[in-house]
Every structure is written in C-alpha cells, then in structure tokens.
Amino acid sequence: MRFETKYDLWIVAVMIGGVALSLVAPAVLFFTAAGPHRLPLWFAVLPWLIWAGVLPCMLPQYYEVRTEGLFIRQGWRKILIPYAALVGIQAVSDARSAGVFSTDRLLVTTREGKCYVIAVAEQRQFLDEVSQKTLLERRGSGIGLPLSPLTGI
C-alpha cells in the first residue's frame, strides 16, 4: 500500500520563498551593479545550478508497505528495508532532516543501526499496516519490538 508524504504548509512556503529569493536576488544584483563592482555572470547562474541539483534529491517522496519490505522514496534515494531488519518506528520532532517537509515525523530504525526520517500523511494507518507485516507491536506514538518478559527491554 502506498502512503503519501505529509507537507506542512508553512515549511513549503518558507522553502518556496527561499528558492525564489535565492534565484532572483543574484540576478537582480548582477543586472543592477555597474562599473568595476559588476558581479560575474556565474554569480547569477549559480543558484539555478544548485537548485537543479538539490530538488531531485528531495522530490518525489512517498512510502510503500510492500510484501518484501518497507519502501522509502525520497528524491533519487530508493530504499527497501526488509521487515526482519526493522527495530522500530517512532514519532520524533527534532530537526534531524532537511528533506522532509513536516514537523510531524517518524524515525525508522533498523537492526544495522541505520535511521531514516520520514513524514507520512496517514501515520496511524501506516503504523498499523507495518505492524501487521512485522513482529513490531504498538507502543505509544510508534511501533517496536516486543518487550522481553524477563528483562523488561
């Protein structure tokens, strides 16, 4: 099942404003400066080249609960995490990721110690779907491995 990314409107607005400002300001400075203080042409073109490289790293974003594992698509990155490798998925609110456009994030942790930050539009349904495919069980605002009855961990 495919799950779309959650986008916070204010983060998207800030990103669009930042992109617009970084694309327009150097061009304006290039064409308005005169004489010995005129800026080089690369100064006006550089932001366009940077954004042409950055945007494919961030878009598109979506997540799929497949039969063989959890699939994460974030820009050019395509990650398939086998269900046996999942340790937990927990709600987080830190500033760990720049490529996720929401403050309502999930931290996906694997047995290898890898962590992925995702933002799923329908978190509850996503967590329910993943927990049905794995041994992970519901815990607070996420899912994780069952607690050991002997050690409590």
The residue whose two tokens read 């002997």 is 150
Residues 25 and 74 in one domain: no
- Domain containing 96 — which CATH number? 2.30.29
The reported pLDDT for the residue numbered 1 is 93
Instruction: Let me know whether 74 and 121 are in one domain.
Output: yes
109 - beta bridge partners?
88, 115
Residues 92 and 126 in one domain: yes
Using pLDDT thresholds of 50, 70 and 90, give the confidence band for residue 150. Answer: very low
Tally of domains within the chain: 2
Q: Is residue 148's pLDDT more than 60?
A: no
| Cα–Cα distance, 56 to 18 (Å, whole number) | 17
Burial of 108 (0-12, 13-18, 19+ CB in 10 A): buried
Q: Are residues 31 and 97 in the same domain?
A: no
Residue 149 within any structural domain of the chain: no
Percent of the chain with pLDDT over 70: 88
Strand order across the beta sheet in which 61-65 lies: 2-4, 61-65, 70-74, 77-81
User: Between these two residues, 109 and 146, which has the higher pLDDT value?
Assistant: 109
Q: What's the whole-number mean pLDDT along residues 4-15?
A: 88
pTM: predicted TM-score of the whole model, two decimal places? 0.78
**What pLDDT band is residue 118 in, cutting at 50, 70 and 90?**
very high
Domain interval for residue 17: 9-57
The mean per-residue pLDDT over the stretch 6-21 comes to 87
Amino acid 59: pLDDT? 84
For residue 150, tell me if it sits in a domain.
no
Instruction: Mark whether 33 and 86 lie in a shared domain.
Output: no
Of 95, 124, 89, nearest in space to 109 by CA: 89
Query: Do 66 and 118 fall within a single domain?
Result: yes
Regarding whether 67 and 45 lie in a shared domain, the answer is: no
Q: Are residues 78 and 137 in the same domain?
A: yes
User: Predicted confidence band at 151 (pLDDT cuts at 50, 70, 90)?
Assistant: very low
